[in-house]
Amino acid sequence: MMQVKNAERIARTCIRHPRGENIPMKALYNDGSVAELPQDEVTHVIRHSAAHIMAQAIKRLYPEADFAYGPATDNGFYYDVDLPEGVKISEDDFPAIEAEMKKIVKENLKFSVYEKPRAEAIALMEERGEKYKVEHIGDLDDDARITFYQQGDYIDMCVGPHICYTKALKAFKLTGVSGAYWKGDKDNKMLTRINGIAFRTQEELDAHLKLMEEAERRDHRRIGKEMNLFMLADEGPGFPFFLPKGMALKNALIDYWRDIHYRDGYVEVSTPMIMNRKLWETSGHWDHYKNNMYSTVIDDEIYCIKPMNCPGGVMVYRAQPHSYKELPMRVGELGLVHRHELKGALHGLFRVRCFTQDDAHIFMRRDQIEEEIMGVVHLINEVYQKFGFKYFIELSTRPEDSMGSDEDWEAATQGLKGALDKLGLPYTVNEGDGAFYGPKIDFHLEDSIGRTWQCGTIQLDFQMPLNFGLEYVDENGEKQRPIMIHRVCFGSIERFIGILTEHFAGKFPVWLAPTQVKVLLVSEKSEAWGQEVYEALKAAKVRVEFDNRNEKIGYKIRQAQLVDRVPYMVIIGEKEAEDKTVSLRYRDTTATEVMTLDDFIAKVVTETRERA
């Protein structure tokens, strides 16, 4: 598992699995005492142990396999394996590996723990041919003592704890295989990463697998292709192409963003995509982020393609003098930013190399901090409620790689805490995960099938105003330095569209739907009225399509409903043409409703305007 302990002994040696389904699991401590464990820790221990059992099974099937990292994760577990030359593991091999794991479980091997000093640990791993673990031990301090866990003939470096016996692993499944560089470094060897999932009971595993099936059905890449929203091309990996329908969706989202920001006193700016390296040195991004930045040479100087909008927003503020009466200044920007991501990490719209960030920067006095943060929280809450998202809040504090004084960091952190406390919002503290220039509040939203996504963020920054020498004149005519908030609602508009696509399974609400109405012609005899309906809807700025193909009406309905996922289908036959009416069919029902064209147009226009 490539985890280590120093001279300090581990507190727990193993986790006892209960005999009954409703009895909590318990930890057995070194002193012989026993204590119940919370469910999340139980799940982590089970997955931790499953990784060891999987590695043992692979070692039995592939004796020359060499093991690197193999942790439990929030989503399951994995092990990175160096396989003999010419040997590959694919999902076709999973049944054999799972069968061997079941044999190990049935053998009911005990997890034993012991500790060795550094030199003895290296000798043990060398003897067993574990070159990756030998390398890792070599990186440790000379006085380090390394903990090992053993079940049967399998020995692994690990901090533990584990289940006491392999028989306690009740429910598991291997889920995928991919490549992973040793130590995450692309200059190192590519290893095979085998992923799996494990739960306390088979019922929990079955529920998870059902959720994964639903997630697969909602995959935004598949739905995006079916609905012609966006495309990805080998000529631009990580650089998405938005197609006409995708742009309609994106623009509807942007229109909503502009409306609520104008209402709340924001102004909008646009700043250059390419700016001189010196700007990014001043902002601190060059020192802390340069490996993720694209650059070019212009006039014999290095220029950077912006990975963030904030330095441009700072320059807008700095361009003219400001009075305390102008503050707070709320400045928004829908800026296209570029960040270098490893090719293997790219994933649809969720992980890309360029995206539109719905940034805003608020410049304010110290006495306005809490009020402005509360205003941003209210705005983000409104946005997430609009789409039906629940969310939880996380406060991230100062990281090791940071800039600025202890006093400023303390003031910034207390400002965020104070605002959350005044709002009465529960939050968890994520120590050391703030931005390099300030602490932050992150919003983790929950979608319709229970998955969480980190989108909105509020970052309080004392450093950038200092670095750029920002000023305002106070009521006494004295120059003061403003405080700055960085914040986003959607985060990345592209990623948010991916999340919305999966949240709604492509069935967007009327105001957001790329195609709001599809006029479906039954036969050529009613085409004149169908055309008139189409033109009237188009004149009312409804996003409408006219399907007058020579196909059966049942086929047209199925495509509009199941593939295009159009909210409203208007069916035009001879009777509708004669009565000058429309037969309205809704996306999720087989029933139809007859109404006048004017009433239908009013209905769609109202729902769009009110963003119902």
Residue 288 annotated to the active site: no
Residues 6+ apart with CB under 8 A from 466: 404, 481
Single out the catalytic residue among 80, 358, 359, 461: 359
Residue 278 annotated to the active site: no
Single out the catalytic residue among 220, 417, 486, 495: 486
- Long-range contact pairs involving 125-133 (C-beta distance under 8 Å, separation at least 24): 125/157, 128/155, 129/66, 130/66, 130/67, 131/66, 132/2, 132/66, 132/67, 132/68, 132/82, 132/182, 133/2, 133/67, 133/157
Q: Up-side HSE of residue 11: CA atoms within 13 Å toward CB? A: 3
Residue 250 annotated to the active site: no
Residue pair 285/340 in contact by the 8 Å Cβ criterion: no
Determine which helix (DSSP H) or strand (DSSP E) holds 333, and give its type and residue range: strand 329-338
Alpha-carbon distance of 322 to 362, in angstroms, equals 13
Single out the catalytic residue among 310, 354, 455, 489: 310
Single out the catalytic residue among 200, 353, 361, 518: 361
Residue 359 annotated to the active site: yes
Single out the catalytic residue among 339, 495, 556, 585: 339
DSSP letters spanning 261-327 = HHHTTEEE----SEEEHHHHHHHTHHHHHGGG-EEEEETTEEEEE-S-SHHHHHHHHHTS--BGGGP
Single out the catalytic residue among 56, 151, 357, 516: 357
Residue pair 170/200 in contact by the 8 Å Cβ criterion: yes
Residue 261 annotated to the active site: no
Residue 338 annotated to the active site: no
Residue pair 159/147 in contact by the 8 Å Cβ criterion: yes
Please, what is the Cα angle at 362 between 359 and 430, to 5 degrees? 70
Single out the catalytic residue among 116, 440, 487, 585: 440
The end-to-end CA distance of the chain, in Å, is 51
Residue 304 annotated to the active site: no
Residue pair 188/42 in contact by the 8 Å Cβ criterion: no
Catalytic residues: 310, 339, 357, 359, 361, 440, 486
